[in-house]
Amino acid sequence: MPESHIRRLVDVLLDAVFDYTRPPSSDPDFLWTEPNEYSQRQCRGCDEICQLLRWGEVQRRRDKTYEGSSPSRIVHNSYLELDRCAGVSGCDTCCVLRRAFLLEQITKRDAERLQHPDNQWPIHAVLDLDSSGGSLLSLAIRSPKRTIFSATIHLSGEPRPLSRDLTRRLAGLRCNYDDLRQVIDDCRHNHDCSSKHRWSRRNPTWLLKILGENRVQLVEGPSEPVDYVVLSYSWGDPATMPAAEWARIKGAGTKTINGRPVPERLNPFPIWELPETMQDAILLSASLGFSYLWYDNACIPKGTNWDTEASIMHEVYGNAAFTLVASSSTKATDHLIHDRLSWTHRSKACKLRGLWLHNTLMPLDRVRFESPVSQRAWTLQEERLSPRVVYWTGQQWYWSCAERQVAEMGELQYSSPTRDETPRSCPQRFLELCHTGDEDQLHDEWLDVVEAYTPRDLVEPKDRFLAIAGLAVRFYNAKAVNGGTVVTEDYLAGLWKDNFARHLAWSVSSAVDPRQNLQHIAPSWSWASLPLQVHTRTKAPFKPSKHFKLIAVEHVDAAHAMSMTDQAATKFESATTDYVNRGRAVEERGRGVKVVEVQGRFRPFIAENAQEVLWEAIECKRTAQRSSFDFRAFPGQHIYARHRADGRIMSKDAHSGEVVGQLDYLVQCENAKSTAQQDTAYLPESAEKDLMCLELGESAILLLVRSRNCDRSDSYRRVGVAIGHGNRKGFFYGCDTKRIRLV
């Protein structure tokens, strides 16, 4: 029989067996298991996985480098059914699947959501094959509208047992601290993290001393260095919790009398007077052998100068033994220490159709950027100023220092990432670059800081600059540490002078509501003027224009200029080696910068006689990188278009390529007139031809409108940016250079 006929016959038989839509039986004997050829328990849901593996075998026989995904098969009708199969029937494969879902849950609340009645939907499995011969099993619990939970199982031809079987020795499924203590001691004795990144010998002003018998006491930081733990946590959202609970969190702060903490804190007191996250952080620190803990609400007494404390956070976190990130908590009243459901059943190697099934470690990036604590603005600098970090999740801990990243299940391995894994993450990169002083990479890292910071939330928007003040001081100190007599760097409302054009070229992912802007806090050209929780892009390739120049800082808010008194300014300008105080002064002054004078090539964005067209009439395709346009309907015409939903704006001269910009703010349907009348960085309807542009780089343009409330005609507010105009490289050819004020 010809080979083509054989392949056709195999396809027909495979399709007959492989009914992609048939869910497994949900009758009582679905939980019945029987031993397979590897002497392990196997349920009928495992049969569905075997069919997926058989599909993969057929593809590999045809093409060893085949890359693709199988159709989906339902392996269980709900998570609770999977849970019963793993616990009651003892199915070894279902134990692995169950643990995979639990290990993907960062908080305790997420793990409990798996068992909620509203989340009981079929569990779908897909086999993914890559061209290198690797394979993995992608699991998803899907409702008719969306995927609620997902998990991944890795497949290999060799057994790969866990380096630490956490189910064999844990009483009550709680953490055994021996492994974590060994990791901390290894860093302390064998790494140079402390010698490189410890900022000074100074302790924080106040520390909680752990006394034993569940009691603590607020004490002044000893004169000699001590090992203390710093807690990074989320207070929670006051809008989503009872008022009494929020009052309890805030009320647990240290009160003062005549500038001193109250006796109730200076004397020993029981830990149950503090919220649950703090209680468990104290117990955890003591279990690891530490006698001191620092966290903001207790160790920055009410009435303390918050600006001063914020600017020395690089010292508080840099000098700590490690920072404990409460990744498992959604609010301060959540416990850190609790039973971890993923270790209910003992680890056991599992094999189906010649392949071993392995649980995998969640990438550290996911823990960092998806946990509730990562939504809080203050925690960004807490993480990036810490030489050593413990991320405490609902099912295991992660450790990160500059030289090692390890989880409770084992070392974090990134030597052969799959297409679904993220590249290796290092939270200490900012500190490493501050240590080496690589100027270009340091500016790259600051832009990464901004991109990670703008989507986060603040209880008090006025803290927009304070919440990264420690990072700004550390950045400046990294450039001033060499003690040169002339330091040109300056902090300008969240941007840096030495690379100002590049820092101006930030953009929003999509235009936002102008009514939520923070232009009472920062000028329009600063990302800090955006509303809270806005996603930005900062890291597009950038080559500066030789025509752009920062001329001067014209105006600094008086409240911040006070820090730069004549005496302080003299000290700042001198060749003193006290760059720590200089950095704090530079950061405080930088918060108040409002107006800068710049110079560059300048022109209108849209031709005066251009015709407006509908966006839908010209856009033919859009990808994540760019849009494609079809201008055949408008030959030889100057045209422009504005996308009302996401803020994109396009300008095209008659016989030249188009330039596409991104406006910062949306057109408002309601109250648009009143919003437009305010002096905000908002482009009203029918005002597109008022748009001016300033060249920042060879492929970066700042979009501007004239400020309405300024007496000077050369004052402009930013309304957006255009990045990567490859179809119109000569956009500024022949244009005059002009000095303008950015406000």
Q: What is the pLDDT of residues 596-643, one digit of tens each?
A: 999 999 999 999 999 999 999 999 877 766 778 999 999 999 999 999
Picking from 385, 393, 485, 392, the residue whose alpha carbon sits closest to that of residue 435 is: 385
379-438 pLDDT, tens digit each: 999 999 999 999 999 999 999 998 899 998 877 654 333 444 434 458 999 999 998 888
3-state secondary structure (DSSP) of residue 346: coil
Q: What is the pTM of this model?
A: 0.86
pLDDT confidence of residue 186: 93
Per-residue confidence (pLDDT) for residue 5, from 0 to 100:
47
Greatest mean pLDDT among 51-55, 91-95, 578-582: 51-55
The H or E element that residue 391 is part of is: strand 388-392
Per-residue pLDDT reduced to its tens digit, 309-329? 877 888 999 999 999 999 999
Helix axes 92-103, 44-62, angle to 10 degrees: 80
CB atoms within 10 A of CB 103: 24
- Label residue 126 exposed, middle or buried (CB < 10 Å: 0-12, 13-18, 19+): middle
Half-sphere exposure of 713 (CA within 13 A, CB side): 1
Among the listed residues 672, 709, 717, 732, the one whose alpha carbon sits nearest the alpha carbon of residue 548: 732
In whole angstroms, give the CA distance from residue 340 to residue 481: 46
pLDDT given for residue 659 in this prediction: 94
pLDDT the model gives residue 413: 53
The pLDDT score that the predictor gives to residue 197 is 80
Given CA atoms 519, 522, 524, 526 in this order, what sign does their dihedral have?
Answer: negative
Token readout for 25 is: 């039986």
Confidence of residue 247 (pLDDT cuts 50, 70, 90): very high
Task: Annotate 406-431 with three-state secondary structure.
Answer: EECCEECCCCCCCCCCCCCCCCCHHH
**Average confidence (pLDDT) over 439-443:** 91
**698: pLDDT strictly greater than 70:** yes
Nearest one of 376, 370, 354, 352 to 296, comparing CA atoms: 376
| pLDDT(169) > 60 | no
Nearest to 127, CA basis, from 42, 54, 205, 36:
54
pLDDT band at 571 (very low <50, low <70, confident <90, very high): very low
Name beta bridge partners: 384: none
* H or E stretch at 517: none
**pLDDT computed for residue 425 by the predictor:** 59
Element housing 739 (H / E): strand 737-742
pLDDT above 50 (res 12) = no
Token reading at 130: 């890559």
From residue 537, alpha-carbon distances to 373, 446, 514 in Å are 22, 12, 18
**Which of 314-323, 571-580, 704-713 tops mean pLDDT?**
314-323
Instruction: State mean pLDDT over 30-52.
Output: 81
Instruction: Tell me how far apart the alpha carbons of residues 663 and 703 are, in angstroms, rounded to a whole number.
Output: 8
Is the pLDDT higher at 159 or at 687? 687
- Measure the CA–CA gap between 664 and 682, rounded to whole angstroms: 8
Q: What is the pLDDT of residue 349?
A: 73
What is the per-residue pLDDT across 529-552, written as a single tens digit (0 to 9) for each? 999 999 999 999 999 999 999 999
Q: How many CA atoms lie within 13 A of 526 on its CB side?
A: 26
Q: How confident is the model at residue 164 (pLDDT cuts 50, 70, 90)?
A: low
**Residue 708 — pLDDT band, cuts 50, 70, 90?**
confident
Q: What is the mean pLDDT of residues 342-363?
A: 84
- The predicted-structure confidence for 452-473, as pLDDT tens digits, reads as follows 999 999 989 999 999 999 999 9
pLDDT at position 172 over 60: no
Q: What is the pLDDT of residue 308?
A: 78
Which of 464, 364, 383 has its CA nearest to residue 430? 383
Window from 12-16, 375-379, 659-663 with minimum mean pLDDT: 12-16
Give per-residue pLDDT as tens, 281-298: 999 999 999 999 999 999
Q: Would you say residue 673 has pLDDT above 70? A: no
pLDDT on residue 417? 36
Average per-residue pLDDT for the chain: 86
Q: Whole-angstrom Cα distance, residue 297 to residue 339?
A: 27
Q: What mean pLDDT comes out for the span 583-601?
A: 94
Per-residue confidence (pLDDT) for residue 449, from 0 to 100: 96
d(CA 48, CA 24): 8
pLDDT of 567 > 70? The answer is: no
Over residues 120-158, the pLDDT tens digits come to: 999 999 999 998 888 999 999 999 999 999 999 999 988
* Confidence band, pLDDT 50/70/90 cuts, at residue 248: very high
pLDDT at residue 729 in the model: 84
